[in-house]
Amino acid sequence: MTSGDALDVGDEVPDVAAPLVHPDDSVEETPLSELYVDRPVLVVFYTNDFSPDCVSEWCSFRDYGWFTSTEDVRVVGSSKSRVPTHRRFIDYLDIDFPLYADTDLDVSDAFGVTYRALKLLPRAKRSVFLVDTDGVVQYRWIGEHPLDPTRDQPPLGEIREAVEEHVGGEPETFGFS
Protein backbone atom coordinates (compact mmCIF):
# COMPACT_ATOMS: atom_id res chain seq x y z
CA MET A 1 0.00 0.00 0.00
CA THR A 2 1.28 3.48 -0.78
CA SER A 3 0.45 6.81 0.80
CA GLY A 4 -1.62 7.46 -2.34
CA ASP A 5 -4.06 4.83 -1.06
CA ALA A 6 -4.34 6.54 2.32
CA LEU A 7 -6.96 9.08 3.27
CA ASP A 8 -5.99 12.58 2.21
CA VAL A 9 -6.83 16.03 3.51
CA GLY A 10 -10.52 16.63 2.77
CA ASP A 11 -11.48 12.94 2.85
CA GLU A 12 -14.17 11.71 5.21
CA VAL A 13 -13.03 9.08 7.71
CA PRO A 14 -15.01 5.80 7.69
CA ASP A 15 -16.54 5.03 11.06
CA VAL A 16 -14.81 2.01 12.57
CA ALA A 17 -14.59 0.72 16.11
CA ALA A 18 -12.00 -1.14 18.15
CA PRO A 19 -11.22 -1.66 21.83
CA LEU A 20 -9.92 1.60 23.31
CA VAL A 21 -7.57 1.22 26.28
CA HIS A 22 -7.65 4.21 28.64
CA PRO A 23 -4.90 5.28 31.07
CA ASP A 24 -7.17 4.25 33.99
CA ASP A 25 -7.05 0.65 32.60
CA SER A 26 -10.68 0.71 31.44
CA VAL A 27 -11.40 -0.69 27.99
CA GLU A 28 -14.43 -0.26 25.79
CA GLU A 29 -15.26 -0.86 22.15
CA THR A 30 -15.31 2.70 20.84
CA PRO A 31 -16.37 3.96 17.41
CA LEU A 32 -14.00 6.58 16.02
CA SER A 33 -16.98 8.92 15.51
CA GLU A 34 -17.46 9.09 19.30
CA LEU A 35 -14.00 10.60 19.62
CA TYR A 36 -14.49 13.54 17.25
CA VAL A 37 -18.11 14.36 18.10
CA ASP A 38 -17.20 17.32 20.37
CA ARG A 39 -13.64 18.23 19.32
CA PRO A 40 -11.06 17.29 16.69
CA VAL A 41 -9.07 14.11 17.21
CA LEU A 42 -5.42 13.51 16.43
CA VAL A 43 -5.04 9.83 15.47
CA VAL A 44 -1.47 8.56 15.76
CA PHE A 45 -0.68 5.19 14.15
CA TYR A 46 2.38 3.25 15.19
CA THR A 47 3.60 -0.29 14.68
CA ASN A 48 3.74 -2.06 17.98
CA ASP A 49 4.07 -1.39 21.70
CA PHE A 50 7.60 -1.74 23.03
CA SER A 51 9.36 -1.85 19.66
CA PRO A 52 12.45 0.39 19.95
CA ASP A 53 11.28 2.84 17.26
CA CYS A 54 7.84 3.17 18.85
CA VAL A 55 9.23 3.69 22.35
CA SER A 56 11.43 6.44 20.90
CA GLU A 57 8.43 7.97 19.10
CA TRP A 58 6.19 7.99 22.17
CA CYS A 59 8.98 9.32 24.38
CA SER A 60 9.47 12.20 21.94
CA PHE A 61 5.72 12.94 22.06
CA ARG A 62 5.70 12.85 25.83
CA ASP A 63 8.91 14.83 26.21
CA TYR A 64 7.81 17.46 23.70
CA GLY A 65 5.06 18.07 26.24
CA TRP A 66 2.00 18.58 24.10
CA PHE A 67 0.61 15.24 22.99
CA THR A 68 -2.30 15.18 25.37
CA SER A 69 -6.06 15.40 25.12
CA THR A 70 -7.61 18.73 26.12
CA GLU A 71 -10.76 20.74 25.54
CA ASP A 72 -9.34 21.75 22.13
CA VAL A 73 -8.25 18.39 20.73
CA ARG A 74 -8.38 14.72 21.66
CA VAL A 75 -5.36 12.45 21.09
CA VAL A 76 -5.60 8.71 20.48
CA GLY A 77 -2.93 6.20 19.48
CA SER A 78 -3.52 3.07 17.43
CA SER A 79 -1.48 -0.07 16.86
CA LYS A 80 -2.09 -3.77 16.41
CA SER A 81 -0.92 -4.47 19.97
CA ARG A 82 -3.39 -6.22 22.28
CA VAL A 83 -5.22 -4.74 25.28
CA PRO A 84 -2.89 -6.15 27.99
CA THR A 85 0.18 -4.92 26.11
CA HIS A 86 -1.37 -1.45 25.72
CA ARG A 87 -2.01 -1.33 29.46
CA ARG A 88 1.65 -2.09 30.19
CA PHE A 89 2.81 0.37 27.50
CA ILE A 90 0.63 3.19 28.88
CA ASP A 91 2.00 2.55 32.39
CA TYR A 92 5.60 2.12 31.23
CA LEU A 93 5.68 5.44 29.33
CA ASP A 94 3.15 7.29 31.50
CA ILE A 95 0.92 8.05 28.50
CA ASP A 96 -2.14 10.10 29.44
CA PHE A 97 -4.41 9.34 26.48
CA PRO A 98 -6.07 6.17 25.14
CA LEU A 99 -4.74 3.65 22.63
CA TYR A 100 -6.80 1.63 20.15
CA ALA A 101 -6.04 -2.11 20.26
CA ASP A 102 -6.38 -2.48 16.49
CA THR A 103 -5.51 -6.18 16.40
CA ASP A 104 -7.43 -6.81 13.16
CA LEU A 105 -6.12 -3.53 11.65
CA ASP A 106 -9.66 -2.31 10.94
CA VAL A 107 -8.80 1.23 12.05
CA SER A 108 -5.56 1.21 10.07
CA ASP A 109 -7.41 -0.13 7.01
CA ALA A 110 -10.03 2.64 7.32
CA PHE A 111 -7.27 5.26 7.07
CA GLY A 112 -5.46 3.33 4.32
CA VAL A 113 -2.17 2.98 6.20
CA THR A 114 -1.94 -0.80 6.54
CA TYR A 115 1.02 -2.42 4.82
CA ARG A 116 3.02 -5.65 5.05
CA ALA A 117 6.51 -5.51 6.51
CA LEU A 118 8.81 -7.70 4.43
CA LYS A 119 5.63 -8.63 2.52
CA LEU A 120 4.63 -10.82 5.49
CA LEU A 121 3.66 -8.99 8.65
CA PRO A 122 0.65 -6.66 8.39
CA ARG A 123 0.94 -3.48 10.43
CA ALA A 124 0.18 0.24 10.30
CA LYS A 125 2.58 2.72 8.79
CA ARG A 126 3.69 5.33 11.28
CA SER A 127 1.27 8.15 10.50
CA VAL A 128 -0.73 11.00 12.03
CA PHE A 129 -4.16 12.33 11.03
CA LEU A 130 -6.09 15.31 12.39
CA VAL A 131 -9.82 14.64 12.03
CA ASP A 132 -12.31 17.48 12.56
CA THR A 133 -15.71 17.29 14.25
CA ASP A 134 -17.35 16.45 10.90
CA GLY A 135 -15.09 13.41 10.47
CA VAL A 136 -12.98 15.03 7.74
CA VAL A 137 -9.19 14.79 7.57
CA GLN A 138 -7.62 18.22 8.09
CA TYR A 139 -3.97 17.11 8.24
CA ARG A 140 -2.02 13.97 7.48
CA TRP A 141 1.55 12.80 7.74
CA ILE A 142 2.61 9.30 6.65
CA GLY A 143 6.03 7.72 7.06
CA GLU A 144 7.68 6.99 3.71
CA HIS A 145 11.04 5.49 4.74
CA PRO A 146 12.29 3.52 1.69
CA LEU A 147 13.09 0.36 3.66
CA ASP A 148 10.53 0.46 6.44
CA PRO A 149 7.86 3.19 6.79
CA THR A 150 7.69 2.57 10.52
CA ARG A 151 11.17 4.05 10.95
CA ASP A 152 10.21 7.64 10.09
CA GLN A 153 9.48 9.93 13.01
CA PRO A 154 6.51 12.32 12.81
CA PRO A 155 7.41 16.02 12.41
CA LEU A 156 6.30 17.32 15.80
CA GLY A 157 6.54 21.00 14.88
CA GLU A 158 4.48 20.51 11.71
CA ILE A 159 1.81 18.57 13.61
CA ARG A 160 1.69 21.28 16.26
CA GLU A 161 1.20 23.95 13.58
CA ALA A 162 -1.63 21.95 11.97
CA VAL A 163 -3.43 21.58 15.31
CA GLU A 164 -2.96 25.27 16.15
CA GLU A 165 -4.22 26.32 12.73
CA HIS A 166 -7.29 24.09 12.99
CA VAL A 167 -8.31 25.09 16.52
CA GLY A 168 -7.78 28.79 15.81
CA GLY A 169 -4.49 29.62 17.48
CA GLU A 170 -2.34 28.18 20.16
CA PRO A 171 -4.49 26.09 22.53
CA GLU A 172 -3.84 27.19 26.09
CA THR A 173 -4.06 23.74 27.60
CA PHE A 174 -2.54 21.63 24.82
CA GLY A 175 0.80 21.75 26.59
CA PHE A 176 2.60 24.04 24.15
CA SER A 177 5.16 26.35 25.64
In tens, the pLDDT along 160-171 reads 788 888 887 654
Listed residue (72, 150, 147) closest to 113, CA to CA? 150
Whole-structure pTM value: 0.83
pLDDT reported for residue 47: 80
- Cα angle, residue 93 at apex, residues 140 and 121 outer, rounded to 5°: 55
85/151 Cα distance (integer angstroms)? 21
Q: Can you point out the beta strands (E) in 110-151?
A: 114-117, 121-124, 127-131, 137-142
Interval 56-69 mean pLDDT: 57
In tens, the pLDDT along 96-155 reads 889 999 999 999 999 999 987 666 788 888 899 999 999 999 999 998 765 555 556 667
Residues 6+ away with beta carbon under 8 Å from 70:
171, 173, 174, 175
